[in-house]
Amino acid sequence: MTPRRTADINFPETLKLSSDERKAVSASPAPPFKITKHWLSLLDGSLDDPLRRQVVPTTAEQLILPGELQDPLGEDAFSPLPRLVHRYTNRVLVVVTGQCAQYCRHCFRRRLTGDSFGEITETQIQDISCWLSLHSEVKELLLSGGDPLTLKDNKLFKIMDSFRMARPDIVFRLATRMPIVDPERITTSLARELGRRRPLWVVIQTNHPRELSPKAISSIESFQLRGLPVINQAVLLRGVNDNIEILEELSNTLVRIGVKPYYLFQGDMAEGTGHFRLPLEEGLRLSGELRARVSGLGMPSYAVDLPGGGGKVPLDITYIQNRCDEGWNLRTPDGIEGLYKENL
């Protein structure tokens, strides 16, 4: 069974809300307002707490800026079947549920998250399995949502086994925040059964080093002990991690616990998330500073999803200055310039 350990924090005795937060909550925001008891225990009590900003609604979400979209990644246009997204030739995404243990205020899939979207049905599982059997070009399948680990274990395994039966060669990715927001959900039996369904990569989202609590680290280790690699996708968020020291600490901590910092995403153009987004120029500066401070192992790829379905674009300050007669003039992340001579 999948235990639900969420706290109703609409009551001031559980979490004291500011007048702005209370107004935002009363407006029935999408995604809904929900927080786990574990995350609640990590808050420091201040209104500008980076962890609080990620989960407690504010009225800033009610401001829809020009260019913001309900479907910023254009996923609906690449959906051959309900819940299936085939944006890239060699991989697909399946939205197995709209539910999360708690809802991120920066969520780009907010049009789908919440109880109303429900869970994938038996018919949908069968239809997607049949589709997979006809598309050998697909090599990887991303289980996403919502959070797949809000499903009961047996249903999650049934979904995976159906897809794997249709395509024995498929590589799974499991996108989840559960190890971070509700570590107790990662039981020994869950980790063991997921380990039996390798090849499988666990993709977590951690945006601030304080999220990596001892319990969170222990839950991540449960995956690693079963041979499951864990990678992290962070989102660059104003007021959360738009600080080089925070980004450096996050990368170093992830590497120390055996998690590869995979992506650092520029905020998507999702409706009501403009207060989280940084200018690209600022993100490029932070990415450049981070590269100068951490190893290659600790350096995530700074990237953005083009609005409307254009796909991921890596963003980086180029270290190629120019080409000359002797070769290439290059610049290191520390700012040292040098000549790479080509004798070909």
The reply to whether 104 belongs to the active site is: yes
The reply to whether 305 belongs to the active site is: yes
pLDDT band at 64 (very low <50, low <70, confident <90, very high): very high
Given the residues 91, 215, 260, 331, the one annotated as active site: 91
Q: What superfamily in CATH does domain 65-314 come from?
A: Aldolase class I (3.20.20.70)
Q: What is the pLDDT of residue 344?
A: 60
pLDDT band at 9 (very low <50, low <70, confident <90, very high): very low
The reply to whether 100 belongs to the active site is: yes
Q: What is the pLDDT of residue 60?
A: 96
Q: Where are the domains of the chain?
A: 65-314
User: Of all residues in the chain, what percent carry a pLDDT higher than 90?
Assistant: 77
The reply to whether 268 belongs to the active site is: yes
pLDDT band at 3 (very low <50, low <70, confident <90, very high): very low
The reply to whether 158 belongs to the active site is: no
Q: What is the 3-state secondary structure (H, E, C) of the chain?
A: CCCCCEECCCCCCCCCCCHHHHHHHHCCCCCCCCEEHHHHHHCCCCCCCHHHHCCCCCHHHHCCCCCCECCCCCHHHHCCECCEEEEECCEEEEECECCCCCCCCCCCCCCCCCHHHCECCHHHHHHHHHHHHCCCCCCEEEEECCCHHHCCHHHHHHHHHHHHHHCCCCEEEEECCHHHHCHHHCCHHHHHHHHCCCCEEEEECCCCHHHCCHHHHHHHHHHHCCCCCEEEEEECCCCCCCCHHHHHHHHHHHHHCCCEEEEEECCCCECCCCCCCCCHHHHHHHHHHHHHHCCHHHCCEEEEEECCCCEEEECCCCCEEEECCCEEEEECCCCCEEEEECCC
List pLDDT tens digits, range 189-208. Answer: 999 999 999 999 999 999 99
For the chain, the average pLDDT equals 92
pTM higher than the cut 0.75: yes
The reply to whether 130 belongs to the active site is: no
The reply to whether 23 belongs to the active site is: no
Given the residues 71, 147, 182, 305, the one annotated as active site: 305
Answer yes or no: is pLDDT of 94 > 60.
Answer: yes
The reply to whether 5 belongs to the active site is: no
